[in-house]
C-alpha cells in the first residue's frame, strides 16, 4: 500500500470518528459532546500516530499486528 493510500485511509477513519462525535454532540438526548476523559490521556485521533497509540479503558484500541 502506498503512502497516499495510507493517508487517505487515515483521513477517512478520522472523518468517521469526527462524524460520530458530532452526531453525539448534536443529539438532543445526549446534551453535548461525550466525555472521553475516562479513556485516558492518550485517547486521541488528531494524527495517525495518536490514533495508533490511543488507549481506551486500559487497552490499546488498534492492535499493530492488524494494520
Q: Evaluate the CA torsion angle 20, 52, 9, 4 in order and state its sign.
A: positive
pLDDT mean by block of 10 residues, the chain; 67 residues? 80 89 87 76 78 81 75
Instruction: In whole angstroms, give the CA distance from residue 50 to residue 42.
Output: 7
pLDDT at 15: 92
pLDDT at 40: 66
Structural domain harbouring 53: 3-66
Question: Which of 61, 57, 53 lies closest to 40 in space, CA to CA?
Answer: 57
Instruction: In whole angstroms, give the CA distance from residue 32 to residue 35.
Output: 9
For 15, what's the count of Cα atoms within 13 Å in the CB-facing half-sphere? 6
Looking at the 3D structure of the chain, how many domains does it have? 1
pLDDT at 42: 61
Amino acid at each position: 500500500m502506498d503512502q497516499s493510500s495510507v493517508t487517505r485511509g487515515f483521513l477517512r477513519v478520522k472523518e468517521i470518528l469526527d462524524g460520530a462525535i458530532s452526531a453525539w454532540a448534536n443529539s438532543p438526548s445526549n446534551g453535548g459532546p461525550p466525555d472521553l476523559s475516562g479513556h485516558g490521556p492518550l485517547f486521541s485521533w488528531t494524527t495517525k500516530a495518536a490514533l495508533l497509540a490511543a488507549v481506551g479503558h486500559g487497552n490499546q484500541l488498534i492492535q499493530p499486528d492488524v494494520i
